[in-house]
Structure 1
Amino acid sequence: MNILLEQGWSEIDSRLVKNYVLPNFIEAVNFINLVALEAENINHHPDIKLYNYKNVRLILTTKSKGKITKKDILLAKSIDNVFESMKVF
């Protein structure tokens, strides 16, 4: 998990939290849709907030366990990969 913290994730109240800034609204929504597909693939769903038209905040936790689990770590890594693959701007 230390590597996630080094890559911008924060641990807040037993949750992994990270903010992403996209170039515009369309790219932010596209990012959210790609995250949704990744979440469905591993059957683990984050809380997602779109704010200020191009900022996306992701919050990961395993609600049934009340803590961060391997699924959260796996999804966080996958989300970072999605974001990196979008970096053409």
Structure 2
Amino acid sequence: MNILIDQGWSEIDSKLIKNYVLTNFVEAINFINLIAESAENMDHHPDLKLYNYKNVRITLTTHSSGRITDKDIDLAKQVDQIYESMK
């Protein structure tokens, strides 16, 4: 989990949270769609928030466990990979 913290993730109230800034609205929507595809494949669904037209906040937790699990960590890593691939 420390590697995620080093990459900008925060642990708040048993949730992993990270904000991303994209170049524009369309790119932010594309980012969300790519995250949605990965999340659906994992059957693990994050909370996604689009704000200020090009900012995306990802919140990960395993609701059934009430804590962060390996599924959250795996999806966080995928989200970071998606973001890096869009640069």
Is TM-score (shorter-chain normalized) higher than 0.5? Answer: yes
- Equivalences, count: 87
| Cα shift readout 1:53-85 (whole Å, capped 9, x = no counterpart) | 000000000000000000000000000000000
Q: Name 1:15's counterpart in structure 2.
A: 15
Residue in 1 that maps onto 2:40: 40
Q: 5+ residue gaps in structure 2?
A: none
Aligned amino acid, residue 62 of structure 2:
T
Structure 1 residue ranges without an equivalent (≥5)? none
* Seq. identity, %: 71
Question: C-alpha deviations, 1:16-69, integer Å up to 9, x for none?
Answer: 000000000000000000000000111100000000000000000000000000
Q: With the length of structure 2 as denominator, give the TM-score of the two structures.
A: 0.99
Q: Which residue in 2 is equivalent to 1:86?
A: 86
Task: Return the TM-score normalized by structure 1.
Answer: 0.97
- 1:71-82 pair list within 5 angstroms: 71-82=71-82
Write the distance in 1 (CA, Å) between the matches of 2:45 and 2:19: 16
Partner Cα separation in structure 2 for residue 78 and residue 58 of structure 1: 12
Q: CA RMSD in A?
A: 0.3
Q: Which runs of 4+ in 1 moved over 6 A?
A: none
